[in-house]
Amino acid sequence: MNTAHRHQALAEVVLTTLSGRFGARFSQGESVRMQHGRDESAHEPALPDGVVFVETTEEVAEIARLCHSHRVPMIPYGAGSSVEGHVLAIHGGISIDLSRMNAILACHAEDLDATVEAGVTRLQLNAALKGSGLFFPIDPGADASLAGMAATRASGTNAVRYGTMRDNVLGMTVVLADGRVIRTGGRARKSSAGYDLTRLLIGSEGTLGIITELTVRLYPIPEAIAAAVCAFPGIDAAVNTAIQTIQLGVPVARIELLDALTLSAVNRYSKTALKELPTLFFEFHGSPASVSEQAQLVQEIAGGLGGEDFAWATRGEDRARLWQARHNAYFACLQLKPGCRSFPTDVCVPISRLAECIARTNDDIAGVSLPIALFGHVGDGNFHLVVLVDPASADDLRQAEWINQRLVERALVMSGTCTGEHGVGIGKTRFMVREHGSDALAVMRAIKAALDPFQLLNPGKILPPAEHLPEGTDGTS
């Protein structure tokens, strides 16, 4: 039997076994496979051979043991909201859907932490915390699963004050490629005991293990919260306001930048009436006195740079409406070019280089014919471009690739990163050597080889395909 036929035979054994074991919770239907073989990116769909809907850690471990023994790839799947091809089954295999693992296992209000299953989403957790005086702050916009957020090291609008998932996961339960189950970290707020496996697995995008449970930090809801919007005559003034705010040490909770094109899209999509100028969205947390002091200082900074009067939202429903409009910016921008696909990208640079990076990026945007919206979490030096392309147009895709390449190269020259929060997936693999160097990539490969020697966990992601996959792991489709 030749290699291709042997691989197909092994895959059939796995598919038959999973069908018998999981019944209706296993599907080979094209629509289900399509749902699990694409994300929000412009990458071509890549369908898994089958999808299994798991409900326990032991079920995940059972599937891993089966796939490991037959050398069949596994792709963890949460909510499918990623934008760099993280869930695409580019080598075939089994998509392991964790969405039914959605129990909140424990909430320790006195210790400010909660333990949840992989499929619990951030909105679900915060709804469960209602009335406790606590909340979970990491807010990437999409209602992503917490395990998916950990796997991609997500952050979002609150990161400038509360950090990213890296800072807010205390411990995890993880299934390894061969089906072993390990627990990393714990509930203690610090530890000096051994290698920090929790931090190793956060951001690994399902390539080192499958997260099935995690313990996350919670925070007291601030006594006072105020949000505001301020428009500026130009984007430089808006960016410099954000930079000065951070450099002065103002403990602002959120600073979001939206350019004029984004504001135009947001107004149409969310039925808002914001000025269609470069705009900053702010939120301040603390005591009433500290919130007032923070707001006054930021108003002075903004006024000195030409910012127009702050429009305040102090009532909870007004703040929610304002931030929902901001979170919908991505979907609003998609309406700028009906029938298009988004080619999203993001970078993060040191705050002192942010104004220059955005200014030079806008020069590049002016040189292409595509609609390109710019917005981001400028409080931590992170911004996004939503490049709208016709996926059937070679010229659109060429221009999008050019913008992306220019943006990433600029960020790396400025001591930044190719992705502040989207993750690597398959879209940013080609920049990994440039950012980290070949020796660091060799260390990453050694870690991958130690934990997943047959390259079965989400193969083809993060690490650039510098060499072929080992014998027996080139897919099952």
Residues 199 and 245 in one domain: no
Residues 250 and 288 in one domain: yes
Task: Indicate the pLDDT class of residue 476, thresholds 50, 70 and 90.
Answer: very low
The whole model's pTM is what?
0.92
In a domain, 192, yes or no: yes
What tokens were used for 374?
């710019």
- Assess contact for 152 and 82: CB atoms under 8 A: yes
Q: Name the strand (E) or helix (H) holding 413.
A: helix 394-413
CATH label of the domain that carries residue 300: 3.30.70.2190
Residues 49 and 31 in one domain: yes
Give pLDDT tens digits for 65-76.
Answer: 999 999 999 999
Q: What is the 3-state secondary structure (H, E, C) of the chain?
A: CCHHHHHHHHHHHHHHHHHHHHHHHEECCHHHHHHCCCCCCCCCCCCCCEEEECCCHHHHHHHHHHHHHHCCCEEEECCCCCCCCCCCCCCCCEEEECCCCCCEEEEEHHHCEEEEECCCEHHHHHHHCCCCCEECCCCCCCCCEHHHHHHCCCCCCCHHHHCCHHHHEEEEEEECCCCCEEEEECCCCCCCCCCCHHHHHCCCCCCCCEEEEEEEECEECCCEEEEEEEECCCHHHHHHHHHHHHHCCCCCCEEEEECHHHHHHHHHHHCCCCCCCCEEEEEEEECHHHHHHHHHHHHHHHHHCCCCCCEEECCHHHHHHHHHHHHCHHHHHHCCCCCCEEEEEEEECCHHHHHHHHHHHHHHHCCCCCCEEEEEEHHHCEEEEEEEECCCCHHHHHHHHHHHHHHHHHHHHCCCECCCCCCCCCCCHHHHHHHHCHHHHHHHHHHHHHHCCCCCECCCCCCCCCCCCCCCCCCCC
What tokens were used for 342?
């988004």
How many angstroms separate the CA atoms of 399 and 27, rounded? 38
Residues 243 and 206 in one domain: no
Residues 325 and 239 in one domain: yes
Q: For all residues of the chain together, what is the average pLDDT?
A: 92
The pLDDT, as a whole number, for residue 2 is 54
Average pLDDT in the 85-108 region? 97
Residues 256 and 363 in one domain: no
Residues 147 and 172 in one domain: yes
Average pLDDT in the 291-310 region? 92
Residues 215 and 230 in one domain: no
The pLDDT, as a whole number, for residue 140 is 87
How many angstroms separate the CA atoms of 119 and 114, rounded? 14
Name the percent of the chain lying above pLDDT 90: 83
CATH label of the domain that carries residue 416: 3.30.70.2740
- For the cut 50, the answer to whether the pLDDT of residue 469 exceeds it is no
Of the three residues 48, 68, 99, the one that is the final residue of a domain is 99
Residues 274 and 378 in one domain: no
The pLDDT, as a whole number, for residue 249 is 93
- For the cut 50, the answer to whether the pLDDT of residue 343 exceeds it is yes
Of the three residues 220, 243, 277, the one that is the final residue of a domain is 220
Of the three residues 292, 308, 330, the one that is the final residue of a domain is 330
- For the cut 60, the answer to whether the pLDDT of residue 3 exceeds it is no
Average pLDDT in the 392-416 region? 95
What range defines the domain where residue 62 resides?
Answer: 3-99
Task: Indicate the pLDDT class of residue 318, thresholds 50, 70 and 90.
Answer: confident
The pLDDT, as a whole number, for residue 472 is 42
In a domain, 476, yes or no: no
Residues 95 and 13 in one domain: yes
174 SS3 class: strand
The pLDDT, as a whole number, for residue 475 is 37
Q: How far is CA 234 from the centre of its chain?
A: 29
The pLDDT, as a whole number, for residue 40 is 81
Residues 348 and 401 in one domain: yes
Residues 323 and 348 in one domain: no
CATH label of the domain that carries residue 135: 3.30.465.10
How many domains does the chain divide into? Answer: 5
In a domain, 153, yes or no: yes
What tokens were used for 19?
């069908």
The pLDDT, as a whole number, for residue 466 is 57
- Assess contact for 291 and 226: CB atoms under 8 A: yes
Give pLDDT tens digits for 4-33.
Answer: 666 677 789 999 999 999 999 999 999 999
CATH label of the domain that carries residue 19: 3.30.43.10
Q: What is the 3-state secondary structure (H, E, C) of 104-139?
A: EEEEEHHHCEEEEECCCEHHHHHHHCCCCCEECCCC
What tokens were used for 172?
């995890």
